[in-house]
Chains A and B, each alone.
Chain A
Amino acid sequence: MKEIFLGLIGTAVAIAHGAMTVLYLSPPNLLSNQAIGVVKSYMQPLFYQDWHLFSPDPGFSTTQLWMRCGQDESWGPWFDPFSKLLEEHYATRVTGRGKLLYVYNGIGRGLYEAMGAQQKACGADEERCSEENLAVEVTETSHFDLASRFASDVCAALHIPARNADSFQIRVVDLTPKKFSQRNDPAPWGAVKAIDFPKRPILTTKDRKLTATAEKGDAP
């Protein structure tokens, strides 16, 4: 008899776990609303899951990070630092470049989402909520710190001919495909939105140390 009960323990655990999974993934309803606290605390550490996977409506815009390097107010051209990597990813799928692109695209996407969050928080104050002012506010976020670190490294590595770059500027570009009805239009994209962030000097070693210390959470 004991063996039967011991054999059933696994089944009981499976049923309980399955029920938790269903409640966690189900849309808000009377049952899930009651139990959501318990369900989340059980599911989120190890069984977190999100199966939207291009649904209900897929995101199809392309968010890109562009940048340019400058020296003494003389600026180089805007460029997309990941275009070569993207071409290589198109050429061969069986590599880790697709995942590497997640890392780099995450920089621009983070800035774009931070901008969206600032816009949402800003409300209807037109003067304060101008794109220019919001871009300045975003420079205070960790997303901009990350983008600054990246842009500084790229500009330091690239150089402007004969002289080292001393500053950089970041632009986030969001490209929306043309609607089906506009497919014969000559323009390559349906909508293009560009957000320019303020120019910044290239991070020094001291700046980096301060940023890194803050990231580790034990800043003074």
Chain B
Amino acid sequence: MSQASSITLTDHLRILSQKITSAALALGRSECHISVQKLYRVVLLSWFFLHTAILIPYHAQIWGPDAYMINYPFDSGRILSWLTDLLSHHQIAPYYLVFVVGQLVSLGMAIFGFKPRLMMPLIWFFTQNLNAKAGVIMDGGNNLSEILLFYLLFMNTSGAPLGLEKYPKLRALAVGFSNAAFFLSRFQVFIVYLTVGLYKLNGGLWQNGMALYYILQSKDYTHPTLGGFLVAHPWLAMAGTYYTLVFQAMFPYFVWNRRTRPLILLMGTTLHLGIAFVMGLFTFGLVMCASYFVFFREPWARFVLETCSARTPVVAGVDSSCRFCMVWAKAMKFLVRGDLLVVDDALDPSNPVLAAVTARAKFTGMVVIDAVSGETSTGFEAVRRLCSRSVILAPLSMALAVLAYLGLGDKLYNAITARRQRLGGGSDQCILEGKK
């Protein structure tokens, strides 16, 4: 008799109960997506910031009391109106700018990590009120963003595990809710595509591949050049229609598989950027791309966060004979928080950490040493690591990481450093090279 058949039903039940218990414990204890949740918060809130910021030039026409929209009366008997629909009240409506500024300030603070847990309810409050006032400008992207913002309220987006070790019960509750909110955010994006995919599969114009051909003839959802080109070439419009259909039908299944996830997210990003710029649904296209960050894997998110805003201090050694390098170092000292950067002369370092670095590393023009891990970077990687210490330079740091990934970083760096004397207007002879 085989070993498997000797296991009794009681054993099977015991194994099952152990698995359920460990899963339940994991839900209350394990925080597996700390970096993903932080990155997702930054990206989603940045979208909210952008959405409001681009409307500021037209604020009176969007949220003002005299905006050309039908104003529905304030329902004082509905409790939720006092929380989410205050701008419908004629005595509060003239002060709409308080809500706009309040939203932008709280968003800015939360994006840069200043008291995000305190800011989140404020952001939700201001956003709900502004959106309720300007209902006519709301599209599917706003609908999704409102729901995702609500889930974000319950998520631990600090980028660090929840403390609360002294209060294990409270911690279990908080971690359980954070995990649930994170899962619901993924589920919400999943259900958007499941629903829209099923609807589209039932649409005659989507089935025969003509949907895009007709949509792009509407003046509201086209671009004279790009849309006109697709309409003039119906085969391309048909390919676009089927691409949309295949992507939306596949998304709900392929996004859960770790191997197919990058492909499906890349397909979605191209589709939604097309919607943003060809159809002109700019904020809709961007928020759909922003929602994909909730599907990032922990190592990807950690890499992005590390690339954009590393918090460990570094010592930078700069070739003092190169004026260009010195100007760069001075600029970095201005842009990077004081406690995160020490700049020293690579030739004659006073800093003991830098002095210990091998002579070869110093001859690359720039060397950066992580003061915590001791990791040494030179050349292009050193520049990237330096940029990653500045919040302002976060987008540049990300672009540099892409260049490095493509293998173009070192080529670019070498091309610049080879001309550094000419670029900086320094002496003809490089002291570093002379010493070498």
Interface positions of A (Cβ within 8 A of B): 2-11, 13-14, 17-18, 21-22, 25, 45-62, 64, 86, 89-90, 93-107, 110, 142-143, 146, 149-150, 175, 177-178, 180, 183, 215-218
Contacts and interface: CB of A to CB of B under 8 A. Distances in A.
A51 B25 contact: no
Contacts of A177: 214, 217-218
Nearest to A214: B73
A60 B217 contact: yes
Contacts of B269: none
Given A107-B68, A180-B213, A22 B173 contact: no
Given A11-B176, A180-B234, A175 B219 contact: yes
A46 B196 contact: no
Nearest to B50: A94
B200 A55 contact: yes
Given A9-B173, A46-B150, A95-B54, A3 B25 contact: yes
Interface stretch (B179-187, B395-403, B416-424): B179-187
B191 to A, nearest CB: 6
B28 interface: yes
Contacts of B55: 96, 99-100
8 contacts: A13-B180, A14-B181, A50-B140, A58-B214, A96-B54, A143-B70, A215-B70, A216-B73
Contacts of B137: 99-100, 102-103
Interface in B22-57: 24-25, 27-29, 54-57
Contacts of A54: 200, 211, 215
A3 to B, nearest CB: 4
B213 A4 contact: no
Contacts of A215: 70-71, 73
A14 B218 contact: no
Interface stretch (B4-12, B252-260, B276-284): B276-284
B188 interface: yes
Contacts of A62: 218-220
Contacts of B191: 21-22, 25, 51
B68 A99 contact: no
Contacts, number: 207
Given A21-B188, A96-B55, A103 B68 contact: yes
Interface of B: 21, 24-25, 27-29, 54-58, 61-62, 67-74, 80, 84, 90, 134, 136-137, 139-140, 143-144, 147, 150, 168-169, 172-173, 175-181, 183-184, 187-188, 191-192, 195-196, 199-200, 202-206, 210-211, 213-215, 217-221, 223-224, 234, 276-277, 280-283
B62 A8 contact: no
A149 B139 CA distance: 25
Given A8-B24, A56-B200, 8 more contacts: A6-B169, A6-B172, A7-B172, A10-B27, A10-B179, A55-B196, A57-B211, A177-B214
Q: Is the interface of A mostly helix, strand, loop or mixed?
A: helix
A80 to B, nearest CB: 10
Nearest to A141: B70
Contacts of B29: 3, 7
A50 B71 CA distance: 22
Nearest to A49: B143
A56 B203 contact: yes
Contacts of B71: 215-216
A4 B177 contact: no
Given A58-B215, A93-B280, A2 B169 contact: yes
B196 A60 contact: no
A9 B177 contact: yes
A58 B196 CA distance: 12
Given A10-B176, A101-B220, A94 B282 contact: yes
Contacts of A216: 71, 73-74, 90
Residue from B21, B57, B280 with most neighbouring chain A CB atoms (10 Å): B280
Contacts of B168: 3
A217 B74 contact: yes
Most buried by B among A6, A175, A180, A217: A6
Contact of A57 (B134, B196, B203): B203
Contacts of A45: 80
A109 to B, nearest CB: 9
A167 to B, nearest CB: 19
A47 B184 contact: no
A95 B28 CA distance: 44
B232 to A, nearest CB: 9
A209 to B, nearest CB: 12
A99 B62 contact: yes
B205 to A, nearest CB: 5
A220 to B, nearest CB: 14
A177 B282 CA distance: 23
A193 to B, nearest CB: 15
A18 B200 contact: no
A218 B201 CA distance: 47
Of A17, A25, A48, A98, most buried by chain B (CB within 10 Å of CB) is: A98
